[in-house]
Amino acid sequence: MWKFDLNDIMEMQPTFDRLIEKNAVLKAARPLPKMALNKIRENLTVEWTYNSNSIEGNTLTLNETHLILQEGITIKGKSLREHFEAHNHEKAIDYLYEIVNDNYKLRSIDILSLHALVLRSIEDDFAGRLRNGGVRIVGANFVPPNANKISSLLDELIDFVNENPLKLNDIILATIFHHKFVWIHPFFDGNGRTVRLAMNLLLMRKGFPPAIILKNDRKKYYEALNQANNGSYHKLALLMAQALERSLNIYLQALPCDEEDEYKEISSLVEEPRVPYGQEYISLLARQGKIDAYKEGRNWLTTRKAIEDYMKNRKRERII
């Protein structure tokens, strides 16, 4: 059985509780209006495709990815491979939505199928096939295991996340799966795109929306994976939680809400007289996952209620 030292992420329990509560609110609100649901899913598919491909070096912009996927336009000056990567990732997302349900159990055939879709018409000789040779990863602080061990290690990991013997919450479970999959590195190419798809099967089967790692967090993402190789999961779990909270908020914003719950850029909130903190301090709280916040581009958004809740909790802690 896989073993982990998870003490360094126990302090994140309030963040996990907040996300689980938001997911419960989202579940209770279902079914959402079909038009709103379709539009959110369409936009998230474009964002997911753009960000995941960009992390791996694809140079298509978000708007170019939208034009390719939604308008069927070919972008001048961009390679055929980059166009395939966009279309392939969209097809892989469609497959993911087709197979996931409340009773879903992760299967190796689904991982192989996702990988086959990701590399279709790009690396057909390797698409959907486990590697049969050694690899080295530039910039990583580990060497992936011998190819002869890949199949058994992948099966062990799949059994672990399906059985969840440590009774981990779904966010931690997806975080561990993400890291261990990257460590196993089961394919010659396409591991990153595939794991960022497969980990969402674990979240979406529990009713969560997909967690999308942003291109702007690429450096932080690789640093988090390297820290996980050394046994510290805090940075990766925080990044996963922030990605998930962003998607949850996108769905929840489709519901009616009070002005207190409206997400605004921190720079505009600090101008309000009821907010006693500066922009730098609130941004730090957002980055640390200590308040309800999410990132759009390079800007953090939060709500007046999130700041007031933090103020109340600090006051309560001082009294205790």
Burial category of 86 from C-beta neighbours within 10 Å (exposed 0-12, middle 13-18, buried 19 and up): buried
Tokens standing for residue 107: 């299967």
Grouping H, G, I as helix, E, B as strand and the rest as coil, residue 68 is helix
Nearest to 171 by CA among 294, 2, 17: 17
Quick one: residue 257, left, alpha or beta (phi over 0 = left, psi -120 to 50 = alpha)?
Answer: beta
What b/e sequence results for 266-278 when a residue is b if at least 16 CB atoms lie within 10 Å of its CB, and e otherwise? beebbeeeebebe
Candidate list 66, 115, 179, 185, residue with the active-site label: 185
Active-site residue, 234 included? no
Angle CA(250)–CA(14)–CA(314) in degrees, nearest 5?
A: 105
* C-alpha separations of 17 from 21, 248, 256, 312 in Å: 6, 13, 22, 17
Catalytic residues: 185
